[in-house]
Amino acid sequence: MPSPGPGSPQRVGVRELRDNLTTFLREARQGSAFLVTSHDQVVAELRPPPPEAAPRRQPGVLAGRIRLAPDFDETPPEMIDSMEAPLG
> What length does the chain have?
88
Measure the N-to-C terminal CA separation of the chain; round to a whole number of Å. Answer: 82
Bigger pLDDT: 20 or 1? Answer: 20
Q: Could you read off the pLDDT of 32-61 as tens digits, one per residue?
A: 999 999 999 999 999 998 888 777 888 888
What domains are there in the chain, each with its CATH number? 10-46 (3.40.1620)
d(CA 27, CA 4): 9
Does residue 73 register a pLDDT over 60?
yes
pLDDT, average across residues 60-72: 89
For residue 54, what pLDDT is reported?
A: 72
CA distance 39 to 49: 26
Check residue 4 and give its pLDDT. 47
Q: In this predicted structure, what is the pLDDT of residue 6?
A: 56
> With 0-12 CB in 10 A as exposed, 13-18 as middle and 19+ as buried, what is 27?
buried
